Amino acid sequence: MTCKSVSALFCMANLGLSSGGLYADVSPSGIFGDHMILQQDIKLPVSGNGTPGETVTASAGSETGRTTVSPDGSWIVHRPSLAPQKDAITVTIGGKNTIVLKDVLVGRVYFESGQPIMHFAIRNDDGPTEHGIFPNRRYE
């Protein structure tokens, strides 16, 4: 192999590696994943990254939203508000690929702050969570 062919191969490999990030599969933002809780009764923005110009759909419940990936590779679908759900739902995000987020609850989301042991009393009480009255309660 001559020096020119090695240089050409190196340039082609380097181009292939550097352009890989430009044309990626659709992916949701890091805050979206399995076992998440979505806030009830608010318009839900679902966002992520993909290939510019690609059509992206996001469905949760019975409705599907659609958008196009912007030139910078980002996308956002504004979903209508969801009513609280007794059972978990799936959220499906599609483009060239499809991502299914499983075991998603819709309900009230609370952010608590305070002492570092605040969650200890809630998790270890002998009340409703131990007896299954609130089986869908989740802590993070």
Mean pLDDT, consecutive 10-residue stretches, the chain (140 aa), reads 41 38 79 92 93 95 91 94 90 96 90 62 48 57
Tokens of 16: 């292939």
Domains of the chain (ranges, CATH numbers): 24-108 (2.60.40.10)
pLDDT at residue 79, rounded to an integer: 86
pTM above 0.95, yes or no: no
Q: Is the dihedral of CA 46, 101, 67, 38 positive or negative?
A: negative
Query: Rg of the Cα trace of the chain?
Result: 22
**DSSP string covering 7-65:** HHHHHHHHHHHHHTTTS---EE-TT--TT-EEETTS-EEEEEE--TT-EEEEEETTEEE
pLDDT at residue 23, rounded to an integer: 53
